[in-house]
Structure 1
Amino acid sequence: MMNPESNRNKNKEVAVIGGGIIGLCSAYYLHKAGKSVVVIDKGEIGKACSFGNAGYITPSHFVPLAAPGMIQKGLKWMLNPQSPFFVRPSLNLDFLHWLWSFSKRCTQQHTVNTQEAILDINLKSLALYEELHAEDALEFQFYQKGLLMLYKTEKGLKEEAKTVKQANRLGLNAKLLSPNELKRLEPNIDFDVIGAAHYPEDAHIAPYELLSSLRIYLETVGVEFIEQAEVTNFNTGSLQGDDIPANRSGPIKIVSAHYSKGAEKGLISADEFILANGAWSGETGKRLGLKLPVQAGKGISITISNDPNNKCSPTTFDCKTPFILSEAKVAVTPFNNEIRFGGTMELGVLADQERRGISPNRIKGLLKSAGRYLPAFRADNIDQSQFWSGFRPCSPDGLPIIGRCQPYTNLTVSTGHAMMGLSLGPISGKLVSEIITGSTVSVNLGPFDPNRFHSEEKIA
């Protein structure tokens, strides 16, 4: 009887595990570097977290998720089922360790130590987006209309003023706007706010438009895609090629990866492996004996018609600039004749969140918040069944995890981007390519080193 795996063997120079924005950008830059690439994804390429997010490219977001006050806010918001931030209780040890590590980093010193690195990598990615948009082979709309942070409270606006001041210190253009100045910038929309901050260097795209274009291009140049296929195991060996037991120390090479695609089984052999499957990277890493501290942060969104000529539109806003309803943590993005409302952060064990689906309370909270800032918003006409959800991969220090991962000599990790996955897609892909080809890397990878959590593993 024929081995079912024998017809599914793939041999490439690089295997990319994960077909979201990080995986596709990695494949793009690796192909440009002359590498043969296969991309494997447990679902449909580009349809996970990359699909329904706000589409922001955000140099303005240089403050890490692990910021001062987040623990206090989280404890307060846990009492409100419609709050924008919710930590689902769990006794899962990995999750508890992540929360402990996160809480340690919610300090002013951590923010000061990391904001320059976060801004630098965002600006580098923005420049790469401009290059990608100029490529004839890729077709996607790129809008550099800036970003508005809207505030209803004096306390919130005062805190944002500090961020604006720090942005200016770091060389980023930003300023506060009064309600009258906001009206001059967006004359056709009424906001019920006391002020705003404007970051004119930010940009936005329609995420799936880019992902679709990347996939079409990559297929035409020979990059192979394997969808609906989950990596189930790895074959490893010493540098001499011998099989090596899991408990042996020293450098290890990944030889191949097994995957299942329905009833079919397959094997991918490659010289290099990229782990870039977002919120699932921690679980995949366990199959290699790794403890990647990545937890899933569920976000939701809904995209509705924003065409004033369409009488079926539940609500329309004639706006050009994306904006965030800051206290409510709701992002609002215009895309041609559509507008997307997205937000919330629900932290918890991934398997539990996948099983539970979208919480009705999260939907109610988002729609209620939108109405508080936007008097013209009509939530009662929105079909709530059309809400989408995705899982952001969150690291405990709020920084991406990018680089070689010990003890493996041919494994590069790119995950943990949280809400900045779309923003950092191009630079993350370019860094992966630079690591594998041995080129000079575009940014200092020290702050993003996957091995930075090893000391905490030993403590735990």
Structure 2
Amino acid sequence: MMKPETNRNENKEVAVIGGGIIGLCSAYYLHKAGRSVVVIDKGEIGKACSFGNAGYITPSHFVPLAAPGMIQKGLKWMLNPQSPFFVRPSLNLDFLLWLWSFSKKCTKQHTLNSQEAILDINLKSLALYEELNAEDALEFQFYQKGLLMLYKTDKGLKEEAETVKQANRLGLNAKMLSPIELKCLEPNIDFDVIGAAHYPEDAHIAPYELLSSLRAYLEAGGVEFIEHAEVTSFNTKFLSSGDSPADSSEPNTIVSAHYTKGAEKGVISADEFILANGAWSGQMGKTLGLKLPVQAGKGISITLNNVPNKQHAHATFDCKTPFILSEAKVAVTPFNNEIRFGGTMELGVLANQERRGISQNRIKGLLKSAGRYLPAFKAEHIDQSQFWSGFRPCSPDGLPIIGRCHPYTNLTVSTGHAMMGLSLGPISGKLVSEIITGSKTSVNLGPFDPNRFHSEGKIA
């Protein structure tokens, strides 16, 4: 027998939909601002995209995903089943519109226009990570060891040298390294590369440690969490008679959200709502009459024991600096006793009936790439069943989507962070808190405005 619908959390001021790094950081800063908060997630808190990523905090990543050459690379890589980037064919209209919009943004001018905004928000987030690390109530690994971009080709190295020059022009420390200089920085690991770029200001964390610590802190402070609960619909109040909410020029509000949790049904009432559920933001937006252009980009990773042991024949790596195998798009992160290999970008997965399985070709491609750059890596000893996958929320212009979302006066959106979700978690959460409390925002939100996609009154 179905349980009756119950009205929960009537006294909460803010409801956060999404329990990943963006949602938890939003809850953290709102809690600090004195707001009562409830967080609801369709799965287990912190176990989606935020769980198995590389853990990078990356001021170095100031070039948007929508950059010159991406379309050409995508078409080329589609012919290689083991490539790091793959667009899964689909006739889904939302996906096709997203690809069209993405292709229009892959220009040099868009890249130049976006760099300062992306770098600024990353540097602000790095500063907030330093503050979080100093909090006695939070415990997580935080290392500012920089980031290495490793190259095997002259073409790749030359392109990275231009990025380093641009980083320096923007005020970011960066320099190119020869193989000898690379060896001096990491003497205990052998790389088969012709050179590298070093970004010393980058940092990295153990992602799930932070998420778990944030949750424990917030629960102790009275923040409520509802897991394995799917938000299905909203109660809204409209002050106009437009054909749809997006057609309205009058203020509209969200009154409550309905959810299902197994056999249970419930309602969350709140003064403010935050949409921060990552790759599913576009689908959730549709229930509110909005079209948020967010598509899922599936990534994979595997975390290996990094303590010398005969039982772990994949080899261990005594390195301190995270590094990216650049042409292969594979990120490698050392933690205390583990090392994580992650990468690939597979678009069109949610448009294809939410393909959750991990492609064996993607796994083979990642492992093969690791062996090409790291001669000591023994791919044949890897248990491939231990690979993890997650869905990154990607916007068509490569910029996060953060701000109030027309026409609702009490809806704030924070999504579309792509590979920078972990990096931008704290600043995104702080911005959400500043928006809701009416404070001056820490960065200019213009480049990240959800309403920038409007076309004839609709988000497209």
- In structure 2, the residue matched to 1:27 is 27
* Matched AA of 2:195: G
- In structure 2, the residue matched to 1:340 is 340
- In structure 2, the residue matched to 1:370 is 370
Structure 1: which 5+ runs fail to align?
none
- After superposition, the C-alpha distances for 1:76-132 in whole angstroms (9 at most, x for unaligned) are 000000000000000000000000000000000000000000000000000000000
- In structure 2, the residue matched to 1:189 is 189
- In structure 2, the residue matched to 1:272 is 272
- In structure 2, the residue matched to 1:393 is 393
Query: Does 2:301 align with 1:298?
Result: no
SS of corresponding position for 2:162 = helix
CA distance 1:236–1:244, shift in 2 (3 Å): farther
Query: Does 2:122 align with 1:117?
Result: no
- In structure 2, the residue matched to 1:168 is 168
More deviation in 249-258 or 67-76? Answer: 249-258
* Matched AA of 2:157: L
CA distance 1:243–1:380, shift in 2 (3 Å): same
Query: Could you tell me how far apart the structure 2 residues matched to 1:12 and 1:176 are?
Result: 51
SS of corresponding position for 1:339 = strand
- After superposition, the C-alpha distances for 1:9-36 in whole angstroms (9 at most, x for unaligned) are 5431000000000000000000000000
SS of corresponding position for 2:403 = strand
Contact map agreement 1:302 1:387 (CA 8 A) in 2: yes
* Matched AA of 2:187: P
- In structure 2, the residue matched to 1:5 is 5
Question: CA offset at residue 47 of structure 1?
Answer: 0.1
SS of corresponding position for 1:193 = coil
- After superposition, the C-alpha distances for 1:200-228 in whole angstroms (9 at most, x for unaligned) are 00000010000000000000000000000
* Matched AA of 2:43: G
- In structure 2, the residue matched to 1:150 is 150
Contact map agreement 2:290 2:458 (CA 8 A) in 1: no
SS of corresponding position for 1:11 = coil
Query: Could you tell me how far apart the structure 2 residues matched to 1:373 and 1:2 are?
Result: 56
1:220-259 to 2 correspondences below 5 Å: 220-238=220-238, 246=244, 249=248, 250-259=250-259
1:64-103 to 2 correspondences below 5 Å: 64-103=64-103
Query: Could you tell me how far apart the structure 1 residues matched to 2:207 and 2:351 are?
Result: 25
* Matched AA of 2:419: M
Alignment size in residue pairs: 458
CA distance 1:60–1:378, shift in 2 (3 Å): same
CA distance 1:310–1:207, shift in 2 (3 Å): farther
1:360-439 to 2 correspondences below 5 Å: 360-439=360-439
CA distance 1:458–1:228, shift in 2 (3 Å): closer
- After superposition, the C-alpha distances for 1:47-67 in whole angstroms (9 at most, x for unaligned) are 000000000000000000000
State, as a whole percentage, how many aligned pairs show the same letter.
88
Structure 2: which 5+ runs fail to align?
none
Query: Could you tell me how far apart the structure 2 residues matched to 1:311 and 1:409 are?
Result: 57
Question: CA offset at residue 141 of structure 1?
Answer: 1.1
SS of corresponding position for 1:232 = strand
Query: Could you tell me how far apart the structure 2 residues matched to 1:156 and 1:22 are?
Result: 32
Contact map agreement 2:313 2:378 (CA 8 A) in 1: no
Provide TM-score, normalisation by structure 1.
0.97
Question: CA offset at residue 165 of structure 1?
Answer: 0.1
Query: Does 2:207 align with 1:200?
Result: no
CA distance 1:365–1:457, shift in 2 (3 Å): farther
More deviation in 6-15 or 216-225? Answer: 6-15
* Matched AA of 1:16: V
* Matched AA of 1:266: G
Provide TM-score, normalisation by structure 2.
0.97
- In structure 2, the residue matched to 1:178 is 178
